[in-house]
Structure 1
């Protein structure tokens, strides 16, 4: 190694090289497109301009909120990046000044790229033989964040964040162009709503809430300096770590910069630097499992809301796109549950079988004429923690504990991918309604034997539950006593395929291979056992199907919400096949059967409940004759049990509400409920309707016409 002193030229050469580099960079700032071309960039000027235009309208991902029916009680949120867009007027000047001082003190002087800052950074980096200073302005940083946030494919994310000269020069060009489109306050507002502060806090609203449990408008200078210091390195300067040394040093640096720029006096900055960092941490809820304990049972309705959302074309072409919209779109949704009805439902299923029972007893209440779900309750705790659940007796079960008892997030009430439970004789409604809609009268009579051999169904020979059911029956008495042989015969007359298609029009879906095979168009006409309820169904489906009958044959799709607004407060909409724009949360209804047929079905359905039909007679006894006395007003419905009473059902309705309740073991469908517990769903529905309608005026069912009575 030579120890000879440098000549004057030798001492000047490094400085000349630094100056040359700085000059090139300043030129690149002045002529970014030419520089980008010289560096081999493939993007054309039009492509860069198009991206810049996109940034003027693009908004960052924002958290979506789910509220209780009052529209103000927050139940939970959905997000990947916790963020709520906040206007600059709702931010403290302290945070605006702190972020400018920390990240870009010449923000209000430059035009998107700061030549002085670029030159200074190159000189410092050349001297240190590394990267000791950056040159990104706030505008350039915002461009990078906005490109990342608007990326839809991994390649776009990579291009927005890769450490290359090409990307840097494009960024400069877009920053310069962006400042021609947006004002300085607009850019600062967008920056503060896009920056990441750590702990899943994206944007200043989330950061203020997570670290200090307050809004951005209330941030003090010390708090603002703490948050502004995080943008550079959220993990290194995390004030919530056990050692606040780095966080304090970074905060003090920001306070010094605020004093140097003139936002604080030197004395004030020194005084504030002596204060400790005082946090008040908040963990914002995310998804249905984070619903407050007070509303734990509402978790099942929340889960139904998610499943419903994922099936709505208005929010994307597939489930993945739709859920991405929910977690990034900034929507405000209000559940359709009625707190009074929900409380009644919870009380009346909880009092029958506690969460400690292996048998799930659940209920769903729907509103005729709208399809809005007013209550969803089941004797289970909504929880992801299955560790407390007892071991499963099924060696092939996964997990090895019972998945649905007592803790579960499974959609036991419907709205998800579980097939449901065999609904028994509640399905007798479908062939009866199909027959009435086809013009057969309520007085249609058949001398029903105890056992009936069906030639149409290849010699199948079902029987009645009791010999007392034999004899001459009409729709009133056959429905009231649940006479199997009468309804197999009636189904033959109208066609099993017609009954199956009607059930589909009323919202039923076939989720098992066996059910799909039987319901297929080429097989449905031979599905004789359909009327006996051998198919699986959910309480949500059954409540909504019977609600259509209460609404004079007008079926409305099941709806978990009463309101969904976009981030700007306007209602979320979709386009129908005919091109009409409609609000997503508005009822979607259609006439499935004629009103007189539905009224006639209701008249017959008053017989099982102990109520008196407007026309005809029930034949002396019924399967749930206590219901009318409990509800205390006109009521219709139907019981249902399966072979060996493995599950039991009751679906009941008044003009105002329809409710479906079941009891079954969802972990082991072969674990029979038994006849002794078949009364539980009957009581759950009757008592819930009674409590929900208390103090409401009594409404009467509209009688069917004489023409359909026969």
Structure 2
């Protein structure tokens, strides 16, 4: 009896001491325990998602992938799997399971170490949200305190819902919604019983028991989960056996991206990190809605990729990427070829393939994902040998002239079937924005983001060539010139005493017409006229004027080369400048984020751009943020008129006086003509040696700039000859590459789709302009009403006063005195 009394006394003393210790620890750690508000507002770390303006998912950023779900959205069998495996008495205990604790204590007595196990779902949630995973007494006691605290402040269903959304499942998947997507590419409601059991088994060891990293251990763990479910009578024996026998079929799935726009996505990511910092931007669950239209973005991506392939094909085939076996060696087995191809990267539209055999005018190839397929002659005939940028070899006669068995090549899918392909060497970009407020409609910064993350649409500062001319002509109209003024289109020779050489700017093509009207000179992109205009204006006046369009003054050269586009701008800067003409004279600020929504679906940011609004300006509307006016509405309209002539030309073809502007190929697009009529304008741009090619053009509601060139500033785009294998319809553009031949087709391809969703209105003649009939040859007034005349617009006081039939008493501005012009 004495021994029993002694033991009871010791036990009572230990109990009192333990209670005092626990109470003391509770008060000691009380300040570190979460508050009631924190418990009820446990934030789920959810990745940032980027959407198009019409709701298509573009990208998802964040270390943690999570798709938060309400408890009622989770299938009951999946809930049963977790309860049976992790905490079958979850709805019966108070946050700590005495039976589990006893089991853990028995392990401690037998091993002398703190072992895992014994933790309830509430304890696991407490550990995941607030604590570390270290096996220490301190952590265990804190875990118990937080668990009791949670059970008092939250309902069982709230705790379970948080647990299922917070738990880690490996491969950066947190929560069952993300796990279903990452491992099976499904919503939780679409999972099979075997897949549910697989996911429910992952929390024990998500990095080593997941079906991607270790399929066998995952299979064993799934069997344990199914066994627990059978023991708890939540599945039948038949269900158990069927799920047990289901094969392990899984792979890593990404987010459900419905539209690929990686360059735009990176723009958004960088902006969000700048706003909120990486931790918050990536994990706070923001939904970022961009200004980009999904259909227009897809059209831009397609236009860039297809036109770069077009350039590459007309310049010739550069040959196979590798050779797997030689003609005297045994061919590889198909399975070995597929294994090899699975290690090769799909880039842009191109898919790696291996040539199995060639016939007279066809080739049999194998890709990683299919059976052998044929490339017909139509998909091979383009492949003349590439010699250098300006030369192509002879057109091939047979498939054997191009390909051989064992070669690693690339193919791309077309409507006509497989086509031989190669990764394009030059780069390209499209940027498209709405001129009324600067919102970006589409942005593509290169052929493949996987190959190069450099965003040429907003980062590549390239010489803009003749794309600068509308701004120079605008300055000329501001300083006394008119669309009817004559300027001499004749060669210039300027001696430079410093360098000892003469500067001889040339037209492209090298054709000169003598006295030419300003409208016609801009439409035909006459280089020497642009030089004479800048001479008449003065360098300082011209540079100052160009800054009105948003061009930084330190990027504008203070010499006459500026007239030919020697300044370097990004495609976005160029498009912003052209938007001034499209919107009637206002400088808007491009933007691509329309609004930001937090994880509670609250809008935390809405763009409030400065807009171009003539009526708002006239009515002094304080509700609208007005963009600054930088040129007059009349000036903007006159330049638009002149650039319309670049598309539609002038003169009379019937009377052999007709002429084309540099953008005449737009007339060939029935789709653009149908959608926009004559309400479309544009300007080409080509630099020396065709190193940079441009086209910028617009309708009233959409401005688009396209650029093509090599990333290597020393490489020229070269020229091509006709390919005798191709018929007239397939025949690529021949001759020197340039804005009209290289960038304009890309622009046309994009605009044929983009204009379907663009606001297209006729360009309205603004008040203050006067109209007069002029003689086309002299720019003076005319009394005739035939093909030798046209109506022209003038600012008040600038219209000519003399008639062409009268003898001139004023000197026209077509002097060839280079010391003056």
- Structure 1 length-normalised TM: 0.71
1:112 aligns with 2:157: no
Question: How has the CA–CA distance of structure 1 residues 101 and 629 changed in structure 2, closer, same or farther, with 3 Å as cutoff?
Answer: closer
Contact 1:69/1:338 (<8 A) preserved: no
Kindly state the Cα deviation for residue 552 of structure 1 after the two structures are TM-superposed.
Answer: 1.9
Could you tell me which residue of structure 2 aligns to residue 641 of structure 1? 686
CA separation in 1, counterparts of 2:453 and 2:111? Answer: 59
CA separation in 2, counterparts of 1:238 and 1:17? Answer: 48
1:671 aligns with 2:716: yes
CA separation in 1, counterparts of 2:759 and 2:717? Answer: 40
Contact 1:240/1:279 (<8 A) preserved: no
Could you tell me which residue of structure 1 aligns to residue 263 of structure 2? 303
Could you tell me which residue of structure 2 aligns to residue 284 of structure 1? 253
Q: How does 1:234-253 map to 2 (within 5 A)?
A: 234-240=206-212, 244=216, 246-253=217-224
Question: How has the CA–CA distance of structure 1 residues 205 and 576 changed in structure 2, closer, same or farther, with 3 Å as cutoff?
Answer: same
Q: Which runs of 5+ in 2 are unaligned?
A: 314-421, 611-623, 652-656, 720-734, 771-793, 799-821
Paired residues, what number?
610
CA separation in 2, counterparts of 1:26 and 1:120? Answer: 21
Q: Which runs of 5+ in 1 are unaligned?
A: 1-7, 148-158, 385-407, 510-515, 579-586, 614-618
Contact 1:652/1:658 (<8 A) preserved: yes
Partner SS, residue 130 of structure 1 = coil
Partner SS, residue 63 of structure 2 = coil
Kindly state the Cα deviation for residue 187 of structure 1 after the two structures are TM-superposed.
Answer: 1.3
Q: How does 1:153-164 map to 2 (within 5 A)?
A: 160-164=132-136
Question: How has the CA–CA distance of structure 1 residues 350 and 658 changed in structure 2, closer, same or farther, with 3 Å as cutoff?
Answer: farther
CA deviations 1:13-63 (Å, max 9, x no partner) are 9x999998888777766x3xx21566xxxx6x344345x633432322224
CA deviations 1:218-269 (Å, max 9, x no partner) are 455554333222211124433445663x445544444454466x5537x749
Kindly state the Cα deviation for residue 623 of structure 1 after the two structures are TM-superposed.
Answer: 4.8
Could you tell me which residue of structure 2 aligns to residue 604 of structure 1? 642
Partner SS, residue 646 of structure 2 = coil
CA deviations 1:568-601 (Å, max 9, x no partner) are 44445158799xxxxxxxx998244343332232
Question: How has the CA–CA distance of structure 1 residues 357 and 421 changed in structure 2, closer, same or farther, with 3 Å as cutoff?
Answer: same
CA deviations 1:122-174 (Å, max 9, x no partner) are 34312321233434332232122223xxxxxxxxxxx6444444444333333
Q: How does 1:349-360 map to 2 (within 5 A)?
A: 350-354=309-313, 357-360=424-427
Q: How does 1:509-658 map to 2 (within 5 A)?
A: 518-519=554-555, 526=558, 529-560=561-592, 565-571=597-603, 573=605, 590-593=627-630, 594-611=632-649, 623-624=661-662, 626-627=664-665, 629-630=667-668, 631-632=672-673, 633-634=677-678, 635-658=680-703
Contact 2:428/2:445 (<8 A) preserved: yes
Contact 2:208/2:214 (<8 A) preserved: no
Partner SS, residue 307 of structure 1 = helix
Could you tell me which residue of structure 2 aligns to residue 48 of structure 1? 33
Question: How has the CA–CA distance of structure 1 residues 474 and 141 changed in structure 2, closer, same or farther, with 3 Å as cutoff?
Answer: same
CA separation in 2, counterparts of 1:601 and 1:590? Answer: 20
Aligned partner of 1:227 among 189, 199, 204:
199
Kindly state the Cα deviation for residue 180 of structure 1 after the two structures are TM-superposed.
Answer: 3.3
CA separation in 2, counterparts of 1:686 and 1:89? Answer: 51
Partner SS, residue 640 of structure 1 = strand
Question: How has the CA–CA distance of structure 1 residues 602 and 330 changed in structure 2, closer, same or farther, with 3 Å as cutoff?
Answer: same
Alpha-carbon RMSD: 4.6
Structure (1/2) with the larger helix percentage: 1
Aligned partner of 1:338 among 285, 291, 295:
295
Could you tell me which residue of structure 2 aligns to residue 501 of structure 1? 547
Contact 2:489/2:512 (<8 A) preserved: no
Question: How has the CA–CA distance of structure 1 residues 79 and 546 changed in structure 2, closer, same or farther, with 3 Å as cutoff?
Answer: same
Kindly state the Cα deviation for residue 448 of structure 1 after the two structures are TM-superposed.
Answer: 7.7
Kindly state the Cα deviation for residue 541 of structure 1 after the two structures are TM-superposed.
Answer: 3.5
CA separation in 2, counterparts of 1:78 and 1:345? Answer: 25
Contact 1:344/1:692 (<8 A) preserved: no
CA separation in 1, counterparts of 2:747 and 2:243? Answer: 65
Q: How does 1:180-579 map to 2 (within 5 A)?
A: 180-219=152-191, 222-240=194-212, 244=216, 246-258=217-229, 262=232, 264=234, 268=237, 271-272=240-241, 275-285=244-254, 298=260, 301-312=261-272, 316-317=275-276, 320=278, 325-326=281-282, 329=285, 331=287, 333=289, 335-339=292-296, 341-342=299-300, 350-354=309-313, 357-375=424-442, 380=447, 382=448, 384=450, 408-411=451-454, 413-415=456-458, 417=459, 419-433=460-474, 450-451=491-492, 463-465=505-507, 468=512, 471=515, 474=518, 477-478=521-522, 480-482=524-526, 483-489=529-535, 492=538, 495-504=541-550, 518-519=554-555, 526=558, 529-560=561-592, 565-571=597-603, 573=605
CA deviations 1:76-96 (Å, max 9, x no partner) are 543422221111111112222
CA separation in 1, counterparts of 2:605 and 2:688? Answer: 46
Which has more radius of gyration? 2
CA separation in 1, counterparts of 2:11 and 2:479? Answer: 92
Structure (1/2) with the larger strand percentage: 2
CA deviations 1:69-122 (Å, max 9, x no partner) are 7635x5554342222111111111222233233223333234434455445423
Kindly state the Cα deviation for residue 327 of structure 1 after the two structures are TM-superposed.
Answer: 6.3
Contact 1:225/1:255 (<8 A) preserved: yes
CA separation in 1, counterparts of 2:644 and 2:211? Answer: 66
Partner SS, residue 132 of structure 1 = coil
CA separation in 2, counterparts of 1:540 and 1:68? Answer: 19
1:145 aligns with 2:166: no
CA separation in 1, counterparts of 2:637 and 2:182? Answer: 56
Could you tell me which residue of structure 1 aligns to residue 361 of structure 2? none
Could you tell me which residue of structure 2 aligns to residue 397 of structure 1? none
Higher relative contact order (CA 8 A, sep 6+): 1
CA separation in 1, counterparts of 2:243 and 2:693? Answer: 70
Aligned partner of 2:744 among 676, 679, 682:
682
Q: How does 1:34-45 map to 2 (within 5 A)?
A: 34-36=24-26, 45=30
CA separation in 2, counterparts of 1:473 and 1:237? Answer: 78
CA separation in 2, counterparts of 1:534 and 1:371? Answer: 26
- Structure 2 length-normalised TM: 0.63
Contact 2:86/2:121 (<8 A) preserved: yes
Kindly state the Cα deviation for residue 694 of structure 1 after the two structures are TM-superposed.
Answer: 7.3
Contact 1:479/1:608 (<8 A) preserved: yes
Kindly state the Cα deviation for residue 190 of structure 1 after the two structures are TM-superposed.
Answer: 1.0
Contact 1:462/1:485 (<8 A) preserved: no
Could you tell me which residue of structure 2 aligns to residue 401 of structure 1? none
Partner SS, residue 651 of structure 1 = strand
Contact 1:114/1:137 (<8 A) preserved: yes
Kindly state the Cα deviation for residue 424 of structure 1 after the two structures are TM-superposed.
Answer: 0.7
Question: How has the CA–CA distance of structure 1 residues 356 and 612 changed in structure 2, closer, same or farther, with 3 Å as cutoff?
Answer: same
CA separation in 1, counterparts of 2:752 and 2:219? Answer: 62
Question: How has the CA–CA distance of structure 1 residues 274 and 702 changed in structure 2, closer, same or farther, with 3 Å as cutoff?
Answer: closer
Q: Tell which deviates more after alignment, 248-257 or 443-452.
A: 443-452
Question: How has the CA–CA distance of structure 1 residues 485 and 223 changed in structure 2, closer, same or farther, with 3 Å as cutoff?
Answer: closer
Could you tell me which residue of structure 2 aligns to residue 3 of structure 1? none
Kindly state the Cα deviation for residue 426 of structure 1 after the two structures are TM-superposed.
Answer: 0.8
Kindly state the Cα deviation for residue 188 of structure 1 after the two structures are TM-superposed.
Answer: 0.8
Kindly state the Cα deviation for residue 185 of structure 1 after the two structures are TM-superposed.
Answer: 0.8
Question: How has the CA–CA distance of structure 1 residues 258 and 463 changed in structure 2, closer, same or farther, with 3 Å as cutoff?
Answer: closer
Contact 2:589/2:609 (<8 A) preserved: no
Kindly state the Cα deviation for residue 204 of structure 1 after the two structures are TM-superposed.
Answer: 0.6
Partner SS, residue 245 of structure 2 = coil
CA separation in 2, counterparts of 1:92 and 1:691? Answer: 43
Partner SS, residue 684 of structure 2 = strand
